Amino acid sequence: MQIESIGKILPNLLKPAEAEKNSGVQFENVFSDFIGEVNKTQLDANKITGDFLGGKNVELHEVMIAGEKAKTSFELLMEIRNKAIDMYKELSRMSA
């Protein structure tokens, strides 16, 4: 394994900050994309469960994993929503 000099690595550390400014990723897109991903995991879990119940070649552990992924992602979304509501209430209380 070859060790690189710090001079080669340092410019690369500064590039992500510049890339974020130019990439066009918006703050609101992060939430809408996450909601879309949660919805996709829910739909995937429903599909794989339906396939299992329909007698298709789906193992029980695949159904359980898909269900737990969907449950966990939904719980994370609800926690983010709750924190956002709490933050809004706190900001409203501070400005009043």
| Number of domains into which the chain is organized | 1
42 burial level (CB within 10 Å; 0-12, 13-18, 19+): middle
Q: Give residue 72's pLDDT.
A: 96
Tokens of 55: 């007698």
Q: What is the spatial distance between Cα 76 and Cα 83, in angstroms, rounded to a whole number?
A: 11
Q: What is the spatial distance between Cα 51 and Cα 43, in angstroms, rounded to a whole number?
A: 12
Q: Give residue 1's pLDDT.
A: 45
Tell me the pLDDT band of 95, cut-offs 50, 70 and 90: confident
- 56 domain-assigned: yes
Mean pLDDT (whole number) for 80-85: 94
Tokens of 96: 């009043």
Which tens digits make up the pLDDT trace of 23-76?
A: 556 777 888 899 999 999 999 999 999 999 999 999 999 999 999 999 999 999
Mean pLDDT (whole number) for 10-34: 65
> What pTM did the predictor assign?
0.68
| Domain that residue 82 falls in | 23-95
- 82 domain-assigned: yes
- 3 domain-assigned: no
Q: In 44-93, at which residue ranges do the beta strands (DSSP E only) sit? A: none
